Amino acid sequence: MHITPVNERPKLAHLLLLFIGFTLLFSLGNQTLPLIDRDEPRFAEASREMLQTGDWIVPHFNAAVRYDKPPLVYWLQLGCYRALGSTGGAGAFAARLPAVLCTALSCVMLAWWGARLGGVRVGMRAAIIYGLCVQVFVHGRAAVADPPMVLFTIAAAWAGWEWLQHPRRFVPALFFWISLALGFLAKGPIAWVPLGMVAWAFWRICPIARNTEEGRPPHWLTMLLGFVFMLGIVAVWGIPALLRTGGEFAAVGLGEHVVGRSLVSMEGHGAQNLMGYILTLPLYLITIFPSFAPWSFWLPAALRFHWRNPSPGNFYLGSGVVITFVIFTLSRTKLPHYTLPCFPFLAILVACWWEENRGVKLWRNVALATVAVFALAPLALFGTVRALSVTENMVRSLSPFLKAETAVALVDFQEPSLVWGVRGFVNGYIEVISADQVSEWLARPGLRVCILTEESSQKIPGTWSQIQASGWNFAKGKRVALVALRSEM
C-alpha cells in the first residue's frame, strides 16, 4: 500500500498494553544477566559514580573522565539507581531499566505514528516488528546509549513529518527541535538523522513539502532559528562540560569518538587498511538480515515494492534508511548495531507492505513464535551466562572479603565488568599497577586485594592468601583464570 496519511489514532488501552508488554518482555532476566560487554559496565559504573559524587556534568569511570557519550543515559540510570539500588542484581536491573523503558516507549510511538501514516493496524504491526527483531532484543535491554537515542530519533522523525505537512504549526516544530537536542544528549550527532530527512524533503521540494495545507514548506529562516534553539538546549549541559574539562569533552568526545571513528577503526571494530575498508563497505547490507530477523525475510520484497510505488511517506522513511546506511557504510569503525536508528523506519515500511501483500495468519504466527523465543531465551540462557562469566565468579568468591575500606588493584586483567562488580562493595576507586609492584603494594597497611591472571600470579613472590576463579571473558571471547592475592593486615 502507498503510505498516505490517514490520521487514525490507536486506542489508549492498546498503547498501554503495548508498553506494559514490551517492558515486561525486555525486563526478563535483567537482574540475572551480568554486565558482560565492555560498554554496559562503563555506562553503569559512570552513572553510579555520578550518583556518589553528585557531579551531573562530567561523567567519570573509575575516577577518570569518560568522554565517550553525552550525559542523558547517565542521568536516566542515576534515577533508577536511586529507586532500585546500584549493586548486585538490582544494580544490573536498574542500569538496564532506562533502555527497557525507552524501547517500550519507542514501540508505543511507532504504533501511534504508524497509525497516522497507514492506519491503526499498520501502526501496531510496525511497533511489534520493531520490538520483535533480533537487534532490538539485544540492545533494547542493554545499559547503553542506543535505546534513548532511538526513542528521540523516532520522536524527531515523526515531529518532522508533521511539521513538513503543517509548516505553520508551532507544536510539531517545537517537538522536532527538542527531540533532536535530547537525541544528541543521548548519543551525539547520529541522532540528527531526522534533520537530514527533513532537509532532504525540504530541498527536493518533494510532495510532502509542496502539497501542504499552507501551500509552502517551512521557511529556511525558521529552520535556522530552530537549529539555534536546539543548540541552546544542548549548550545548557555542553558549555559547563567544556569549561570543566578545558574543551576536552569536544576534542575527545566529538573529535575522537565521532570524527575519529569515521576515519579510523577503533577498538578493532573495522578494517585496518584500505583494501579491508573497501571489502567491508557492503557489511551492513549483510548484517541487516540477522539484525532485523525474523522480519528481514520479507524486507527485500517490501523495499522493492515501495521503490516501485513512491509516495511522500515512503520517500520520507526511505531517506532515513539511506542516510543511516550511508553514514555508517562510509565510517571506518563498524559494528552491526550502528544501523539501529533506521530500524523504526524499516518497521513501518514492512508493516505498510504487509497490509496488502501477506495474510494475517502468517503475521500472527511469526509474531507469536518470536515472542516465545524472546521470552524463553532470557530464562534459559542468562543464568548460564552468569555462571560462565569470569568476573562474576571472581566477584562472588571475593565478596566475603571486600569491605568498604578495602583497597583493590588490577594488574593484567582490567575489564570494566570487574571494576563495576568490585566497586559495588568498596568505597575507593580501583588502582591499576604493574606486576613488579604487587608485593610492595600488598605490603602496605590496610586491607588489600590485587587481582591478576593465574599466569602472572605465579611470578609474584611472597605467601599471600589466594582466591581463584575461572570462566569466560565475554568481551574478548576467551577463557581466563584469575587469582586474587589478599593481605591479612
Q: 470 and 345, same structural domain?
A: no
Distance CA 245, CA 260 (A): 19
For 216, other C-beta atoms within 10 Å of its C-beta total 11
H helix or E strand, kind and range, residue 468: strand 465-473
**Predicted local confidence at residue 456, as pLDDT:** 92
Distance CA 124, CA 120 (A): 6
**Predicted local confidence at residue 463, as pLDDT:** 81
Distance CA 267, CA 274 (A): 17
Place of cell 489514532: 9
* Burial of 47: CB neighbours in 10 Å, binned 0-12, 13-18, 19+: buried
Distance CA 185, CA 189 (A): 9
**Predicted local confidence at residue 131, as pLDDT:** 97
Q: 479 and 439, same structural domain?
A: yes
Q: CB of 117 within 8 A of CB of 348? A: yes
pTM over 0.85: yes
Q: 373 and 324, same structural domain?
A: yes
* Burial of 20: CB neighbours in 10 Å, binned 0-12, 13-18, 19+: exposed
How high is the mean pLDDT in each 10-residue block of the chain (489 residues)? 68 96 96 90 96 94 92 96 91 97 98 93 96 96 96 97 85 95 94 92 59 56 88 94 87 63 49 68 90 96 91 91 92 86 97 89 94 94 94 94 94 94 95 94 93 92 89 91 87
**Predicted local confidence at residue 334, as pLDDT:** 81
Kindly state whether residue 2 falls inside one of the protein's structural domains: no
Q: 352 and 269, same structural domain?
A: yes
Place of cell 537482574: 31
Alpha carbon 461 to its chain centroid, in Å, reads 44
Q: 317 and 429, same structural domain?
A: no
Question: How many domains does the chain divide into?
Answer: 2
Q: Could you list the residue range(s) of the whole structural domain that residue 116 is in?
A: 12-381
Q: CB of 453 within 8 A of CB of 413? A: yes
Which amino acid is located at 298 in the chain?
W
Q: In terms of DSSP bridges, do strands 64-65 and 465-473 run parallel, antiparallel, or are they unpaired?
A: unpaired
Q: 415 and 355, same structural domain?
A: no
Closest CA to 324 of 304, 343, 302, 298: 343
**Predicted local confidence at residue 271, as pLDDT:** 52
Q: 394 and 367, same structural domain?
A: no
Q: 148 and 25, same structural domain?
A: yes
Q: 217 and 171, same structural domain?
A: yes
Closest CA to 284 of 332, 337, 320: 337
* Burial of 253: CB neighbours in 10 Å, binned 0-12, 13-18, 19+: buried
Which amino acid is located at 350 in the chain?
V
